[in-house]
A and B are shown apart, each in its own frame.
Chain A
Amino acid sequence: MGSYIGRRILTGTLTIILAIIFSFLLIHLAPGNPVSILSGRDNPSPEMEAALIAKYGLDQSVFVQLGSYLKNIVQGDLGQSISNNRPVVEMIAERIGPTLLLSLTTAILSLLIGTALGIYCARSAGSKLDSALNGISYLFDAMPGFWLGMMLILLFASGLKLLPTAGMVDLRADYTGFAHYLDVLKHLILPGLTLTLISTPYFFRIARSSVIQVMSEDFVNTLRATGMKESRIFNKYVFKNAILPTVTVFGITLAYIFTGVAIIEIVFSWPGMGSFMLKAISSRDYPLLMGIYLILSVSVAVNMIIVDLLYAFIDPRIRYK
Chain B
Amino acid sequence: MEKVQNMQNVKNVQNTGNARSSRSPFKRMLHHIRSIYQLKIGVTILAALVIVAIFAPLIATHDPYLLGDELTAPPSGAHLLGTDGLGRDIFSMIVYGARTSLLIGVIAALISGVIGTLLGGIAGFYRGRIDKVLTEVNNIFLIMPTFFLILLVIALFGSSMFNVMLIIGLTSWVGNARLMRAQAMSLRERTFVLSSTAIGESRSKILFKHIIPNGIFPIIANTTMNISGAILTEAGLSFLGLGDPNVVSWGQIVFNGRSYLTSGWWISTFSGLTIVITVLAFYLVGDGLNRVLSPKLRANY
A binds B: yes
Contact in complex: B280, A139 (CB < 8 Å): yes
Which listed segment binds A: B8-16, B49-57, B265-273?
B265-273
Query: With a CB–CB cut-off of 8 A, which chain B residues contact A158?
Result: 261-262
Binding stretch for chain B, among A108-116, A181-189, A222-230, A251-259: A251-259
**Which of B147-166 touch A at CB < 8 Å?**
147-149, 151-153, 155-158
**Chain B, 261-298, CB within 8 A of any chain A CB:** 261-262, 265, 268-269, 272, 275-276, 279-280, 283, 287
Contact of B143 among A147, A286, A301 (CB under 8 A): A301
Chain B proximity mask over A183-220: 1 for CB below 8 Å, otherwise 0: 00000000000000000000000000000110010000
User: Quick one: which of B145, B153, B158 contacts A258, CB cutoff 8 A?
Assistant: B145
Q: Would you call A289 and B239 a contact (CB within 8 A)?
A: no
Does B122 reach chain A (CB closer than 8 Å)?
no
B143 touches A11 (CB 8 A): yes
Which residues of chain A from 272 to 314 have any CB-CB distance to chain B below 8 Å in the complex?
A: 277-278, 281-282, 284, 286, 289-290, 292-293, 296-297, 300-301, 304
Are A153 and B261 in contact (CB-based, < 8 A)? yes
Q: Which residues of A contact B139 (CB under 8 A)?
A: 11
Q: Assess whether B142 is in contact with A150, with CB atoms less than 8 Å apart.
A: no
CB distance A18 to B147 under 8 Å? Answer: no
CB-CB contacts below 8 Å: A113-157 with B: 125-126, 138-139, 141-147, 150-151, 153-154
Residues of B within 8 Å of A30, CB to CB, are 156-157
CB distance from B158 to the nearest CB of A (A): 7
Given the interface pairs A141-B283, A144-B251, A144-B254, the reply to whether A151 lies near B142 with Cβ below 8 Å is no
| Interface flag for A14 (CB, 8 Å) | yes
Give chain B's interface secondary structure class: helix
A266 interfacial contact with B, CB 8 Å = yes
| Residue B242, interface by CB 8 Å | yes
Q: In this assembly, does A82 line the interface, its C-beta being within 8 Å of a C-beta of chain B?
A: no
Having A138-B280, A144-B235, one finds 10 other A-B pairs with CB under 8 Å, namely A23-B152, A30-B157, A125-B301, A144-B251, A146-B239, A150-B268, A254-B143, A281-B242, A284-B155, A304-B143
Give 22 A-B contacts (CB < 8 Å), ordered by A residue. Answer: A10-B136, A11-B136, A30-B156, A126-B301, A139-B280, A141-B283, A143-B279, A144-B239, A144-B275, A147-B272, A147-B276, A150-B268, A154-B265, A251-B143, A254-B143, A258-B145, A262-B147, A267-B258, A286-B156, A293-B148, A293-B149, A304-B143
